[in-house]
Structure 1
Amino acid sequence: MRVTGLVICALLALLDLVGSLPMGDVQPPVGVIVVGLVLGLITLAALVPAWRGNRRALQVVVGSRVLSALLGIGAYFDDAAPTWARIGVTVAMLLTAIAVVLVLPALRPSPQLAE
């Protein structure tokens, strides 16, 4: 389950990077683009150690994905945001929630063996 969640996180991070490229007439604010780009890079940087089971890296991946999902909320309140952007934000939020649920069991502390 952890691997599937990390794959979803990787795809979402790549979407953050692609989303920072200029596309069409309607663009999100520059701050949103920059923060999304940084969060995508953070996720990608933490993926390799997270894949190997590093709990701190898993926390970074989950945190950066949650922050990225929250960054999209502004699309719902922006009248200039096209419908496809709102749909994309909704899908990304749902995928983020699924990925977090899949990764969370790996973040729980393992029971210590009693001697």
Structure 2
Amino acid sequence: MPYDDQNIFAKILRGEIPCKKIYEDDFVLSFHDINPQKKVHALVIPKGKYINLDDFNKNASKDEIVGLINGISIVAEKLGISSENGNGYRTLANINEDGGQEVPHLHFHLFGGEKVGKMVS
């Protein structure tokens, strides 16, 4: 499946749709989810055109991979949910249809600020 340049995250990255930004660097953009599922619910997306984690792992540069992982940690710290300054958080990446992915651009959800609960119900 080719990357869809018209997906909502591509439009956010291009500045066509606003977001409530938390953090941005050369590799990632993070913003608050518009439909939060927990007290803290943020998204971290790579700036590159990657459909899902499999695509990212096969095609991203080492700098992009490190940048994404570091970005997740930086955002958790900024939100006060990291293991350094909070009680922890959950990261979640849905992959393709069976995994529940709704937007065809790799993205990680960060949930925290309260007990998240069971992994799968």
Q: TM-score, normalised by structure 2?
A: 0.33
From the CA coordinates, give the structure whose radius of gyration is larger.
Answer: 1
Q: Which has the higher strand share?
A: 2
